[in-house]
Structure 1
Amino acid sequence: MKSIQGSRLSPFQTKFIHRMSALCTIKHLCQATRSENKYTKRFFGILLTQTAQKWLFSPFWIVVPNLRKSAVFGLTQPFCTDEKSHAQPKRKAAFGSVGRRIPYRILHLINQEGESLGNMHRAEALKLMDQHGLKLVLLRDNVEPPVYRLMTGQQIHEEQLKRAEKKKSSPKPGVVQKELSFSSAIAKNDLETKTKQIAQWIEKKHHVKVTIRQAKGSSTDMFTLFDHILETVSEKATYLSKPKVAREGVSTCVLRHMSDKELKEHQKMEIKKNSAVKEDENEDLKSKELHQ
């Protein structure tokens, strides 16, 4: 080496030294590549053998050395062995007390009487709830800030009944709902025509919404009219939504076709009723004969 360093190198010697350096560099790169591949296989092999567990990979970048290219970048796709990890549609929460589970920091609060108390921190809302012994109910979460209300247990129960009645009276998918409205001062022949129309719709298994408006100066009870209509079509119809006051001077109900089970029960009741009426008539005849 001293003779080489002391003397001037020829072009051939210089080229030879450069080639040797390149070969040493390539050798080191190959060793590094084999080591990287070995550790990468070991890492993923451990993960893939854990099939009994349920885990989820998040997307991440990995660098794979390559002899021909300096580096190859690839984005791994999320991998999941849990079938239930797919995005589930958000279910609407049932109306009721949320307890102390409030995910929002700021909320709009309404008091027990329905008056707005404005926006406040959830800690203040919980403090008011505890002070008055009330329950906190979520009314709307699609606004900013979400709206909550302080309510008693009785108020929550009544609201749940109203919503259940409304849901029950709303027509199901595929069911046709017909509507019929008239005044409480309707003439007898017009009422008969309306009742026949209702019977035809019931026969086709449609829902029929009947609305009666209280006429000025009329003393007719609207609920009596509803009962008369149901009695006329009672062989196949029943209330889906019982008569109620929709607003001042207006009452409504919804009729539907009875199910097969309900029809059988109705026929049994009619048979019992008719037999009871016949027994009463026979007893009256016997009593008359005895008095004669």
Structure 2
Amino acid sequence: MSLLKSFESSYKNGRIPFLFSYFKSELISRANFCQDVQSGQKPAKKKTTPIPKITLISDSLVSITTLEEAQKLSKRRDLKLVKILDLDLKTQRPTYKLMTGTEYHEEDLKQREARKKQKNNSFIKGEKMVFIKDSIGEHDLEVHAKKILKWLSKSYQINILINGSDSNKDKLEKIFSFLEKQIDIKGRLLQKTFKGSDLKFHIIPPKAEKKDEL
């Protein structure tokens, strides 16, 4: 059918407005395309939503894939897909691991133990930091000790860093021993470690004793 006959048929059937709107939109889109070509601009591409990637650990091998592909792989190999890290700060991706039933059970036990440990430490309200120089005087050290005892009474953990001016550890040990005597049974000194010329440790309040039920 020729264009003229098609036009006449459309006119008789009352479809001319539709054809005019179609031709108009078609001409506008072609004109825009020609204008982009003449100006040297490429037609804008439609934006697609990027698919989030994950880090997958399988048989000590690390790969980057999508969660959907990892789920398919776990079904094919009859393994469990377990998230072991919500967000890796370095890669900015969550980390998953393919595990056998035995590995999954062991990981579950570890997580239960971690939750139990966190629950046991729930009596600690917060943390305080104390910096002490090895050249500190006895009076100032006593002031620090009183401050630490006050925080312990309020159920705070105190992280202490004794800054050494040289490699001589005797000064650091004397300060540690002094604080240990001052704290006595009002707190527990844990994780004593030397790092270079510094001494780090922290003090936590004693656990509240549970009264036996009658």
TM-score (normalizing by structure 1) = 0.34
Instruction: Tell me which of the two structures has the higher relative contact order, counting C-alpha pairs closer than 8 angstroms and 6 or more residues apart.
Output: 2
Between Structure 1 and Structure 2, which shows a larger proportion of strand residues?
A: 2
Rg larger in structure: 1
TM-score (normalizing by structure 2) = 0.43
